[in-house]
Amino acid sequence: MTLEQIIDYLKNDPDIKGNISKWKTYPAKEAIYAPFPEILEPLLIETLRQKGIENLYSHQAEACNNILAGYDTVVVTPTASGKTLCYNLPVIDKVLKNNDSRALYLFPTKALAQDQLSELHSFIQMLDVDIKTYTFDGDTPQTARRAIRSAGHIVISNPDMLHVGILPHHTKWIKLFENLEYVVIDEIHHYRGVFGSHLSNVIKRLKRICDFYGSSPTFICCSATIANPGELTERIIGKPIKVVNNNGAPSGERHFVLYNPPVINKELGIRRSAVKEAASLASNIMRNKIQTIVFAHYRLYVEVILTYLQRELKGKFGQGINVSSVQGQLPNALVIHQRRELGVLGI
């Protein structure tokens, strides 16, 4: 069956539809394009066109125009909408215009930092320019740290390392702080509550040190869709912020389904395990060779679902199916690599 047929099956199967408490369908959305900002370096635009990018999405163009004009900006659009380009373009443009310029990227996890480093390296290689990009975290060899401090145009790190490894040793980072043009904070919605308070204090220290060395960096933040991105970001960076939330990226039709596990003990109100139900639904989808992601709040749940699926799909249905547990931007997830269609289950 195709993904469309699977959706019809879920809607009509008596054992499943009775457990669905909400089903909302979001229609497909066409892309909204905007031209490249005129002040971007021609080399950047030419390289983007080589990658098949003839125009920017509307939110990318708006974000770039704000950032290039010197406004602190937070971009709030869905996953896979091209937020990375919103900060990479202004940063690289600034370095191309002034080789002394520096930028600091902060990511909440090492896995995400490595993903972004790989993408950034690939783009810089296409540009064929001398822009040095490094990751500075607890795993960075001592032999590389001196080179990063003195020659790194873009330093990729995390709030903890900024707090304990960079700010206390600012006299070794004079080149960075004297020329710091941009500070990028990705996934800023992670920094809520006590964690957000800690980051806010770290950013205050960063701004004081930048002021001491005569720099005033522009902050570029990215967030998933949340209710108060402007308020959250302003509290963290301590400055007014421009919010860019008019997503111009295209999207296919999406179905958001709330599935309640069936009741197995009506007197006590006990329902069947959500973990077992997720594994059962996922195995039904996978038997039809639909590429699937299953994600959960806890790593333990992911490992249990993985075990159930590997056991269920042994033999005929398991041939040619690769089931793996991964950690990264989606912290706890199972990725089943099969065909182009994609099904997503969350518990």
User: Domains of the chain: which residue ranges?
Assistant: 3-28+252-346, 33-244
Taking each helix axis as running N to C, give the angle between helix 83-97 and helix 110-127, from 0 to 180 degrees, rounded to the nearest 10.
50
End-to-end CA distance of the chain: 24
CA atoms within 13 A on the CB side of 43: 14
Residue 111: predicted pLDDT: 81
> How far, in Å, CA of 290 to CA of 286, rounded?
5
With beta carbons less than 8 A apart as the criterion, state whether 281 and 345 touch.
Answer: yes
Give mean pLDDT in consecutive 10-residue pieces for the chain, a chain of 347 residues: 86 89 92 95 95 95 97 93 95 96 94 88 93 91 89 94 95 96 95 93 97 97 90 96 95 90 89 90 85 81 85 64 48 40 49
Calculate the CA 167 to chain-centre distance. Answer: 25
Residue 335: predicted pLDDT: 43
* CATH T-level assignment (fold) for domain 33-244: Rossmann fold (3.40.50)
Residue 79: predicted pLDDT: 84
Quote the pTM value: 0.82
Residue 315: predicted pLDDT: 61
Residue 334: predicted pLDDT: 46
Residue 337: predicted pLDDT: 38
> How far, in Å, CA of 335 to CA of 210, rounded?
42
> How far, in Å, CA of 183 to CA of 157, rounded?
11
With beta carbons less than 8 A apart as the criterion, state whether 174 and 213 touch.
Answer: yes
Residue 345: predicted pLDDT: 54
- The total number of residues shown for the chain amounts to 347
Q: What residues contact residue 282 under an 8 Å CB cut-off, 6+ apart?
A: 292, 294, 305, 309, 334, 336, 343, 345
Residue 344: predicted pLDDT: 52
Residue 318: predicted pLDDT: 52
Residue 316: predicted pLDDT: 53
